[in-house]
């Protein structure tokens, strides 16, 4: 579904990603693991065309994304939840969802009501201003908002960062239900426990290069890679 082929991404003159390649197949949850500063967010930004690769390319359902604008890439069916958890603070929870309704031309799979069923904590606070929500609630809302655009593939950038353990557990269950509902996910995480439980396969990134990829089982058995690139 998604094929990243040897991309190099820069911020200005700083060369950040080196020859990064990865693949996500339909129905998979694939995690991109790495320490802080490893290049996870930059990979996501490269895929979404926010920092377009200077070399290499990204294919989505065999379509080359080179030269496409972020909104065009989103319209093809890539949902993106950045790491900043930004909501429209002055809008209510329901309005945050309504505002993106119909952004995609595909047949809607997700409606506001279905999302409230999927994220039960959001239902009773539908009319509260989003700026007043807890961090966990805001994270659920940003994921729900991305789903309103009916993505085929969802890019989730460190959804659990800085959240309390109980909230992390809830989010983990919700992401797991999304997978069961057929959503394909690329998940960037530092939290390997959660990521390994949720994912089918893993890529490990360090210093802007992919150092390892394999199944979750293989990664669990590979202490060397986990010690070298993941444990802080």
Ligand X SMILES: Nc1ncnc2c1ncn2[C@@H]1O[C@H](COP(=O)(O)OP(=O)(O)O)[C@@H](O)[C@H]1O
> Of the candidates 2, 41, 141, 147, which one interacts with Mg ion according to CB under 5 A?
41
Q: Which residue, 178 or 188, is less far from Mg ion as judged by CB?
A: 188
Residue 166 CA to residue 194 CA, distance in Å, equals 12
Q: Which residue, 2 or 130, is less far from ligand X as judged by CB?
A: 2
Interaction between residue 40 and ligand X (CB under 6 A): yes
**Shortest distance in whole angstroms from residue 217 CB to ligand X:** 24
Choose one: 35-43, 53-61, 123-131, 170-178; the region binding ligand X (CB under 6 A). 35-43
> Of the candidates 36, 66, 134, 177, which one interacts with ligand X according to CB under 6 A?
36
The strand pairing partners of 108, in sequence order, are none
Torsion, CA 64, CA 198, CA 156, CA 218, rounded to 10: -50
Residue 179 CA to residue 32 CA, distance in Å, equals 16
Interaction between residue 16 and ligand X (CB under 6 A): yes
Binding partner at 42 among ligand X, Mg ion, none, C-beta below 5 to 8 Å by kind: ligand X
């Amino acid at each position: 579904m998604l094929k990243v082929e040897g991309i190099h991404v820069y911020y200005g003159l700083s060369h950040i990603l080196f020859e990064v390649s990865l693949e996500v197949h339909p129905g998979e949850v694939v995690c991109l693991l790495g320490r802080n500063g490893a290049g996870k967010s930059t990979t996501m930004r490269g895929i979404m065309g926010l920092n377009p690769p200077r070399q290499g390319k990204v294919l989505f359902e065999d379509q080359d994304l080179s030269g496409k604008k972020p909104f065009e890439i989103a319209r093809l069916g890539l949902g993106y939840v950045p790491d900043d958890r930004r909501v429209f603070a002055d809008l209510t929870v329901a309005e945050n969802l309504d505002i993106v309704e119909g952004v995609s031309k595909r047949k809607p799979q997700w409606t506001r009501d279905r999302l409230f069923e999927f994220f039960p904590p959001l239902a009773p606070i539908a009319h509260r201003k989003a700026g007043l929500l807890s961090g966990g609630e805001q994270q659920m809302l940003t994921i729900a908002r991305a789903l309103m655009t009916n993505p085929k593939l969802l890019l989730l950038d460190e959804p659990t960062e800085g959240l309390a353990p109980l909230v992390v557990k809830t989010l983990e269950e919700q992401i797991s239900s999304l997978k069961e509902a057929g959503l394909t996910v690329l998940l960037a995480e530092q939290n390997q426990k959660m990521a390994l439980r949720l994912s089918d396969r893993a890529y490990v990134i360090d210093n802007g290069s992919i150092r390892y990829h394999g199944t979750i089982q293989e990664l669990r058995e590979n202490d060397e890679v986990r010690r070298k690139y993941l444990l802080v």
